[in-house]
Amino acid sequence: MAFPAGFGWGASTAAYQVEGGWDADGKGPSVWDTFTHQGGERVFQNQTGDVACGSYTLWEEDLKCIKQLGLTHYRFSLSWSRLLPDGTTGFINQKGKYYYNKIIDDLLTNGVIPIVTLYHFDLPQALEDKGGWLSEAIIESFDKYARFCFSMFGDRVKQWITINEPNILAIMAYDLGVFPPGVPHFGTGGYQAAHNLIKAHARSWHSYDSFFRKEQKGMVSLGIFAGWAEPADTNSVSDQEAAKRAIAFCLDFFAKPIFIDGDYPEVVKSQIAFMSKKQGYPSSRLPKFTEEEKRMIKGTADFFAVQYYTSRLVKYQENKKEVGFLQDVELQVFPDPSWKRLDWVYVVPWGIRKLLKYIKDTYNNPVIYITENGFPQGDPASLDDTQRWEYFRQTFQELFKAIQLDKVNLKLYCAWSLLDNFEWTRGYSSRFGLFHVDFEDPARPRVPYTSAKEYAKIIRNNGLKESL
């Protein structure tokens, strides 16, 4: 099962989840610093990313892990407030710039291609104080930050992700309020944030296109989280429609405006308008794009970056009056009882193949990068994660089928994650790393799981040894 020549094998991390050094060398506070320091059990055991994997001072150790795997690509994110402590270019933190320059240069010296995410959930607190993603002012702030990064690092970085999982951020942070700033706005905040996230991404893409692309010759996209949804009862029309809605509200909500026509899917617009009317709102809770904005948003991605972990069965469930993003979709999601479970991830490798085929068919056969996919280690005490590796192996089989049988234009796979790290509200209780990190040891030693050794073989062979 050899993958196509030149296929990319990577691993991903994110600044807040691995760096630590939360206030080192002039870094400004991010919303996650504020949120975790407030306590209140919003994060598992009130854990924080203050030290995390210590990657801010232990980058050389991370580089050893990257070289040990033989990665062709490494995806990491920039901490906005490490570079620009108050979120603006009024003050540039030179030590932050030095840190990321070193990572980029070291990767290139070792033949590894950097994929850089501008923003991975860790908004500078100074910008959250001005309204964060609920405020239209954020669009300008993000665009200026993006231009700063393109100008500082774009001579060497050719693959950019503007925003990581905007769909997850909008729901978790601004609808449910379980991510910082921690204030729920059921049924309104998520849509307002999503609206601004889409416009901010589009603006920064145009900035790259107008001012940097000709000289730097790079590519820009955004990383969309997507699960696969299957109707619980394949003979039920209402379940089939609910499964379509699930994909529309998760994936197409962001992908259709950006890849197709600058506007939300019709089913999303009609469903939210219908629910809003039922709840007595004078108009839809979903903001509208102007015609000018639609033109600005359409076609603002150079490849399709998707992040898949799991799938669900979906059943129609009528919602009478409850207001909320999840309630608007009018469905119930649950796993098939036969699916194996690791933490929140139900193991459904065939879901990724279906998702890739859907993206190919819906979005004009784009070049696809899987920028995250992975499984948590079931037994954190053991480095032998043979069972977890089996799920990775099954996933690679499905990717091979997607490329060979479905003719999906998949060019890159990035495992989440290079290291065990701070998994947001789960803290350190959930371990997705290819390398085990001992969070009790101040030296934060990195030791490979069995999965790391096996993944290195896949990379060396550019695929699996067995045939289809």
Per annotation, catalytic residue among 128, 372, 423, 454: 372
Q: What is the DSSP string of 350-362?
A: HHHHHHHHHHHHH
Residue 94 contacts by C-beta under 8 Å, 6 or more apart in sequence?
Answer: none
Nearest-angstrom CA–CA distance, 48 and 23: 13
Nearest-angstrom CA–CA distance, 165 and 232: 26
**How many C-beta atoms surround the C-beta of residue 338 within 10 A?**
6
Angle at 264 between CA 259 and CA 266, to 5 degrees: 115
Query: H or E stretch including 229?
Result: strand 228-231
3-class DSSP state of 445? coil
Catalytic annotation on 372? yes
Nearest-angstrom CA–CA distance, 19 and 34: 16
Residue 423 contacts by C-beta under 8 Å, 6 or more apart in sequence?
Answer: 17, 376, 429, 430, 431, 432
Considering only the C-alpha atoms of the chain, give the largest distance between any 2 of them, rounded to a whole number of Å. Answer: 60
Nearest-angstrom CA–CA distance, 373 and 410: 14
Residue 171 — left, alpha, or beta (φ > 0 → left; ψ -120 to 50 → alpha)? alpha
Nearest-angstrom CA–CA distance, 327 and 184: 14
For 193, list phi and psi in degrees, rounded to 5. Answer: -65, -45
Per annotation, catalytic residue among 19, 128, 165, 423: 165
Would you report the helix, strand and coil content of the chain in percent, each value rounded to 5?
A: 45, 15, 40
**How many C-beta atoms surround the C-beta of residue 93 within 10 A?**
18
205-237: burial string, b at 16+ Cβ within 10 Å, e else: bebbeeebbeebebbbbbbbbbbbbbbbeeeee
- Strand locations in 56-184 (E): 73-77, 113-119, 159-164
Report the helix count and the strand count for the chain, using DSSP H and E: 18, 15
Catalytic annotation on 423? no
- Token digits of residue 329: 């979709």
The residues that are catalytic are: 165, 372
